[in-house]
Structure 1
Amino acid sequence: MKKYIQVYNYYKKLIETKQLKQGDRLPSVRTATQILSVSKTTIQNAYFALQADGYVVASPKSGYYVTEQKEIVQKFNDSKAEDNKILFDFKSGGADTDSFDIKLWQRYIKSALRQHERLLTYGDVQGEYDLRLALSEYIRAKRNVTASPDRIVVGAGIQSLLSILCSLISQRDTVSFPNKSFVRGMTLFSDYGFNVKTRDKDSKIIYVSPSHMTSYGDVMPLKRRIEMTKYTEKHNSLIIEDDFDSDFIYQNKSIPSLYALTGCDNVVYIGSFSNVLIPGIRISFMVLTQELSDKFSANKHKYSQTSSKTEQIALCQYIRDGHINAQTRKVKKHYTTKAKQLYDYLKHELPSAEVNLSDNGLQVLLKCKFNKTINIFESNNISLNVVSYENNVLKISLTPSAVRNEDLHKGAEILASILE
């Protein structure tokens, strides 16, 4: 293949993949010869070919610019994407605009940014100490989880913390998950060489999310929690307690954490603020056992902090000023009210369907006869979680947290019309 064709294909690909967009200027002939280590003639022939095929246009004494023609294709594709845009998100569990006072959070971020000297250095690998101290007090009061700041590790999301945990566990034993919906966690442990199973009580590591056992919000009852703690203690197993959604137990009173029930010797406790605040604030934490904490301290130099130092400083003061408790009450009421409204509407409009609220009060579970294709939901701008669809019986889980209040009734109306 001639060299100028190789150069032509190189820039053509950059344009077609939108790495070079309409109006972007290609490197000058002289610069391109230096970048690609080819002759001036090769570059000129490639640019002439791009111009002939409509990818670029030459501007006298200025250079070559990506043309509008390729953008027309993109606009057409965008319009098609707009037709299939999800307007009623009953799946993601995201936040809506009324759930969080973003202006208040901005004030805390601005306050953190004024700490100039502190921001000139890299953050603590384990997480900012003042935040870990605030977290220690918060989880003791909220979940009866007693742990010193030295045993708390902060990270950007559960995945980054699980990665650290996997590296700290030297024995690559079996790890059990509640079901196959925990895809990311199962994949991570598998990548680290663990033997991953589901619902295996004899595994050496038990991963469990007691306040959100399934994608449709089942909560582990107290009796089962006590049984699990006794069994794992007897068999010297490690429990990883992901306390996801513990703040949102609606139909039941808050149940003690496994960590509190065991006395913490064989439990790694994990928590996150993504649901209480908003998903864009990626701060999670884990409380290690003393043995794993000592191992982490000895190997600190091998890790890096993934969570924003600025956000950690802001969250620390946000917690200390009492806003986290007020926000928890607000968002709990907000999301459970929306789920109840959706439940009441579907219960009324679909009398032949089996409609229930989940244990945690955040999801609506629906079972009904159905003889259409699943893609009809997306065609009507609705996303939802299909639990199963067999023998013309459909089971779905609906999480309305991301749907705006003003859109909830319309979304429920369209959903009911599809299901009836």
Structure 2
Amino acid sequence: MKDLTDIPALMHDIGLRAKAAARELAYAPAERKQAALIGAADAVWANRAAIIEANTQDMEYGRKKGLTDAMLDRLMLDEGRIRGIVDGLRTVAEQPDPVGQVMTEWDRPSGLHIKRVRTPLGVIGVIYESRPNVTADAGALCLKAGNAVILRGGSESFHSSGAIYDCLVEGLRAAGLPEDAIQRVPTRDRAAVSEMLTMTETIDVIVPRGGKGLVGLVQREARVPVFAHLEGIVHIYVDKHADPVKALNVILNAKTRRTGVCGAAECLLIHKDVVDTIGQGVIRALVDAGVEVRADATLHTIEGTIAATEADWGAEYLDSIIAAKVVDDADAAIAHINRYSSNHTDCILTEDDATADTFFEQIDSAILMRNASTQFADGGEFGMGAEIGIATGKMHARGPVGAEQLTSFKYIVVGDGTTRS
């Protein structure tokens, strides 16, 4: 029985075991990793009743903590969402194994043949909040890429994450892979997070997935390299060439489908020429859908809106709230986005190719969209099966982080008694 009160000793032991497992995983056959993920998927489905029961405990804990409805929605699991977890595990299982893939190769006049091949990162620490499905997503993607992973979920999802984690271990066991390849920090004690951030000898990279507070803490205190998953301050710009029907459908979906996900629209920018046509209808539809629209002076004349303040530009609500503003043209929209965006996901609604091209050229967010709901900002929707997060930085990985993004590379150099003159 582990001593859960001695956090440094607990985390040191977890780190050493993860490092040992990573060495074995680095050359594990693709077939065994695939089998482990299929076994985990089968176990999740077979144990869905127990997972839902564990989630019921977490939901009650979350309500007592005063989580918002949007945050409770992120936490909640039902049979449909468990089916989504199972499908994600199976999709990752069936993807090509990235480890050992030849990225490029070439010959040199010296006679050397050089290849750049994908290789695992090693041990990945994932620190996340609320969403228990991240347990499966992160575990699956790290395993597929040949990495060991240490999972530290949020206190709200403690029981759900534990039940899903047990299924991942069942898959590892059945496939004959080291059970330490996927480990879960078995305590809610926040000292475990601080400990992970300094484990430079055993953890190769930290992936924080959560709100601005968590990501900021990790970026400030980590001595281990970090893939930052920053907040989603997501903008939609309605251009003067936007199609009214597409605009209405996309905006309503982007805001209301699930308000607590990082791809939910948080700010609406409307070209001044379409305020009386598209703008009026969209704002009224949002209000009718129960969205609190925090509008600038022009749009505040629409019944049901409330006046925006400066704090609303650049806000991530993760709730049924959206900021709305009129802009003079596409250049003004681009300037606003470049000032307030978190470089996560931004969207333009337009039928004009030249305007869309300018938008794509002049905004440097990880994901840029045209005439599509920002709720598609998701690794599963990109065909990755799942994601470990959406990286908003520019080093190593950017955008949805799937299995391929969880690899590095090495050079294989082959000669034939070749010497350098």
With normalisation by structure 1, the TM-score equals 0.24
With normalisation by structure 2, the TM-score equals 0.24
